[in-house]
Structure 1
Amino acid sequence: MQNMFHTAYYVVKKEKPFTDFPDLVQLNSRTGSNMTNCYLSDKACLRFTIDIYNVEREQLLSDLKNAGYISVMIDGATDTGNLENEIVYVKFFNKERGVVQSFLGIEDVKHAHADGVLSAVQTVFEKAGLDNWKEKVVFLCADGAAVNLGKRNGVAAKLKEEIGHLLAIHCVAHRLELGLVDSIKENQRLKQLQEVLQYLHQQYHYSPKALRELRMLADAMEEKVLKPTNLKGARWLPYIHKATQILCNSYAIFVAHFEDQVSPERTTRPSPAVMGRAKNILHYLKSHTNVQFMHFLLDTLDFLKALSLQFQQDSLTPGEAVQYIEACLNGLTELCLEPGEQQRKMLADAMNGTYRGVELKNTTTDTLATDRKKITDMLTKHIESRLGDLLSTESIVQTFSALDHNVWPKLDNSDESKEAFVLHGRANIESLCHHYQSILVREGTTVTEVLGVYRLYKIWARMRNGPLRDTLLEILQR
């Protein structure tokens, strides 16, 4: 029976249909696994799945009730009936399992205002048997919709009326994408390239004939081509990076296909509308400046995509988020000063005015220095604007850096280093104590006691290497 449960778990984990279950059981039997001859149906897989869910759910709720403090993440969703729902995730520390992040529940939103969303969140916790969840929650994360983070009547504002120490943050991955959207709105070159990428997706997504021709052409040229992707997704930034990467990697194939579409020798002529769009795209793709700009943007998106994926890590800490932001901004500054890897390769391959067999128009030795500076400065401005609260030294999030031994002053035998080490972080810890004063009072702890523990922590942690997360887990799991 254990192998049957494992097979059912695989079906659900890989998002396979339940009807695959009987065939997988038979396959396991043929490879020597000990499988029972009963329960060989999709209905049995459903029952196994429900049993697995109940066991996992029971463990989650038990750990959640024993957790000292929890963080909550909420997000809106629309089901197939076009009805609004609210999804609730929780994150907490368990001594045996470490940091646990899990889906808690989803609930219908009766009214699409802050009270309605908050009521849905309350219902999720009540169904989980956590009526006292507001006593444990210390952190709330949501997207930037006014219903969630509105200063006066948002969900966070209403919760802060009951939970004074609640720290509410707009999802950093979402804010990063909004920073790029702000930049695209301001720059015509970015708008133009976005329109090209959107057209490529529509052309090959809604026309099987066009996609078939593209792949046949790639086979004839002995190259590989991927279907142009949509620019929209759960995390939009990696999608636009992939779309740009596909265009740059398969540049010659796309040009050849559009040339074929506008050729007067073509047997079946496209409609005038398709012909017109194909000519415009072809004109864009044959410009030396535009091709160079595509590769410059790909260099830029490499940094932004990396930052987006780092923001999506379950293990992300506030200190790491700040470090990742600063590293990304430094990368953008490098692109402002000199061309990136993709742009350099493109310029080297197009020295004679031909790039991947395509004769470019308006060939120039200009490396887009002005455009590079304009766009990188604009991106930096909008990223800092969207994520400024994390970078500000006055932010409560920044005060957590007092715990990060990787940024402490180096301690040597000089009096100056000892003084800097002793004083470092003290003001931040006092700020944290002030912010979480209600918790300290409830736990019967004073600021003096917290500072004393912090001094011991600094002595112990200063010899540690590695990320802050590992250091804190080592302490908490003792």
Structure 2
Amino acid sequence: MVCTYCLKYPMVADKDSPLSKGAGGEGNFRKESLTFHSKSKLHVKCQEKYESENRPNYAGPLKKMSLTLGENVCKQIGCLFNTSFYVAKQGQSFESFQGLCELQEKNGVDLGFKYKNDKACATFINNIATNEVKAISQELKHARFLSEGVLAAIDEAVETVGVTQEILVSKLVGCNFDGAAVMMGKKSVYCVAHNLELGVLDAVKTVPYLRQFDDTVKGVFKYYFYSPKKRRELKAISEIIEEDYAYYSGVQQIRWLASRHRSLAALEKHYAVTIYHLEHVGQGTGEDSARSKGLLRELKTEKFVKFLHFMIDVTSVLKHLSECYQRDELFISDVVRKLELASWELSELKENGPDTGEFYSKFVQSYSDGVFKCGKESAQSVSLTNKGANLIGTFTTFLGEVVQYISNRFGSLQDPPYADFQVFDHTLWPVDLNELRSFGNNQVAKLTDHFKDCLSEDDTNGTSAEWLDLKLRLNRQRSSPPQTVYANLLMLNPDNLQHILALVNIMITLSPCTAVCERAFSSMNKLKTTYRSQMKQTTLQNLMRIKQMQQNVSTFDANEAINIWLCSAKTCRQVAGKSDDVKTVTNAPDAAAEPTDLPELPQLEDSDSDSD
């Protein structure tokens, strides 16, 4: 048997004690010997040294609470804050907080005796959100440059996170909006995801039939989404003919291209099952029968089926582009390059003919003499009407219009200064060193002149000289993505690249997309439901801030929020004990003396050494 405290610190422990050396066989020590050792001065010093090294690194009021009431109380409060964070992150009702606490206690988690109701949950969430505002404020104040989005462009919203007009004027390098002309200015950039949608809508208007086509697709989704009975019948037919179960979700008025592609692909996949069910319903009478006949009349036309497969091929290309434009790590330098790649794919489809598309070529191979083979392994047959529609010219014209309208929408990003940021994409640099030496010099000079109001005099004069050093440094890192390379550079901040990294910082700061704002709107719609009609504005703001936090439950650290909670109390916080034996901690920031109470017996473990 050995004392783990004394064994860990042999220079402090009593070298003559058998418990320090590891003796006693299989634990044949008398209780009096163990008690005497636990009260010895050298053992107490070893124990205090061990506890001081392994005590959590608390600060402020939380440290005082830890020293006054013990670490167990801090863990209890931390568990309550973590549970509150989970409630807010999942968008649950505050009333679920008490049930979650009861569940954890049933599983053996000690949560104490207080602060386990919905009001305490609201208070904890408010302190977590306050701490998030504090963190955002500090990040914005220490950021070298700022780029504002749709919501943050409002002065009142900016001031809530501690950014004054002076800071905004001195650091603002760009604003990103969703496309309204009244919001555009000298430093404004259209949201690239919205711009892509608007460009496609402009091209759709050039083909009158596409409006009717879109209405038919939405009609099918609405027909099944709002009727559980029709969905059950559709599932039954799928099982009878051994096809995949068809499920049609709700279609909103405005959707991203990625969602539109998924809806078209779903209709193509379940086309045969849908036709069979509509034919079955159409045999009856009533309103449903009339609606099914109207949908069936359009769905079985050769023109609709051809447009369906053609539009899947087109939206497949645009879907990937739209998803790239909605990523948070999108650089302003990536926009034009990804747009050119999508334009090349659409132009290739135009030049080679729609028959070269994956889905349209599949239709051509499965269609013969007015009979369309579809479903699993082309096992189902559907006779199409209005045969002989020649749509190749319409498809070719539409592809050209899509490329043209999208290019027009992105005209501002294809011109200086934003197009000049492409020179920072080191994966596109010339391989020859002689060409690399002069590559991008003019673009860097233009960028320096354009953003000179936001740069210091040293940065303005030093960017050209350090541009060559940056190219030589990154020339060997072509296999790494620009996001990773420049993130590492900004963290290292080498002395010979400080001025050119100012332009890199601007490139990373400029936000070309407002998709994060759209996700915030979606979060707000999920939080502010009809069942929470009395929710206060401050509560909604707190929940949305927590919802947008990058931390999840496993990475969330509640210490700073607990400090805010302790300091915000008008009197003392009752953090431990029952109602008849309440312990309190004040909100004073100074720390109390460390406790000197020791356990009655030392911490013991079996030793491999034999007794003397």
Normalising by structure 1, we get a TM-score of: 0.77
Taking only the aligned residue pairs, the percentage that are identical comes to: 26
- Partner residue of 2:458 out of 431, 441, 445: 445
- Paired residue for 2:399? 376
Structure 2 contact 325–335 (Cα < 8 Å) conserved: yes
Unaligned residue ranges in structure 1 (runs of 5+): 75-86, 89-117, 150-155, 161-166, 413-417
User: Are 1:240 and 2:260 counterparts?
Assistant: yes
User: What secondary structure is seen at the aligned counterpart in 2 of 1:358?
Assistant: strand
| Contact 2:177–2:189, Cα closer than 8 Å, also in 1 | yes
CA contact 2:84–2:121 (8 Å) conserved in 1: yes
Q: Given residue 224 of structure 1, which amino acid in structure 2 is its aligned partner?
A: Y
Task: Indicate the larger mover: 315-324 or 2-11.
Answer: 2-11
Q: Distance in 2 between matches of 1:339 and 1:364?
A: 21
Post-superposition offset of 1:261: 2.2
Task: Specify the alignment match of 2:447 in structure 1.
Answer: 432
Is the CA contact 1:404–1:468 (under 8 Å) kept in the aligned structure 2?
yes
Residue number among 427, 437, 462 corresponding to 2:475 in the alignment = 462
Distance change (3 Å), C-alpha of 1:218 and 1:458: same
Structure 2 residue 281 is the aligned partner of structure 1 residue 261: yes
SS of the residue aligned with 1:130?
coil
What is residue 93 of structure 1 aligned with on the other side? Answer: none
Which residue in 2 is equivalent to 1:39? 115
Who is 2:608 aligned against? none
Give the structure with higher Rg (CA). Answer: 2
> Which structure is higher in RCO with an 8 Å CA cutoff and minimum separation 6?
2
- Pairing 1:269-418 to 2, within 5 Å after superposition: 269-271=285-287, 274-336=288-350, 337=352, 338-350=355-367, 353-356=371-374, 357-361=380-384, 368-390=391-413, 392=414, 394-411=415-432, 418=434
Aligned partner of 1:340: which letter? G
Offset of residue 275 of structure 1: 4.1
The superposition leaves residues 190-224 of structure 1 with CA deviations (integer Å, 9 ceiling, x where unpaired) of: 22210101212332344454444434444444431
In structure 1, distance between residues paired with 2:94 and 2:113: 17
Which residue in 2 is equivalent to 1:197? 217
Map of 1:97 onto structure 2? none
Match of 1:51 among 119, 122, 127: 127
Tell me: CA distance 1:430–1:208, structure 2 relative to 1, closer, same or farther (3 Å).
same
Per-residue deviation, residues 93-152 of structure 1 (Å, max 9, x unmatched): xxxxxxxxxxxxxxxxxxxxxxxxx7xx12222232221222111110002213211xxx
Q: Report deviation, 1:299.
A: 1.7
Determine if contact 2:200/2:405 at 8 Å carries over to the other structure.
yes
Matched positions, count: 403
Q: 1:228 to 1:187 in 2, by over 3 A?
A: farther
For residues 215 and 228 of structure 1, the distance between their equivalents in structure 2, rounded to whole angstroms, comes to 14
Structure 2 gaps of 5+ residues are: 1-76, 375-379, 493-612
Residues 32 and 309 (structure 1), Cα distance of their counterparts in 2 relative to 1, 3 Å cut: farther
| Partner Cα distance (1:349, 1:58) in 2 | 62
Aligned amino acid, residue 183 of structure 2:
N
The residue number in structure 1 matching 2:71 is none
Q: Per the alignment, do residues 474 and 50 of structure 1 end up closer, same or farther by CA in structure 2, a change over 3 Å counting?
A: same
Task: From the two aligned structures, give the one with the greater strand fraction.
Answer: 1
Residue 98 of structure 2 corresponds to which residue in structure 1? 22
Query: Could you say if the C-alpha distance between residues 253 and 4 of structure 1 is closer, same or farther in structure 2, counting changes exceeding 3 Å?
Result: farther
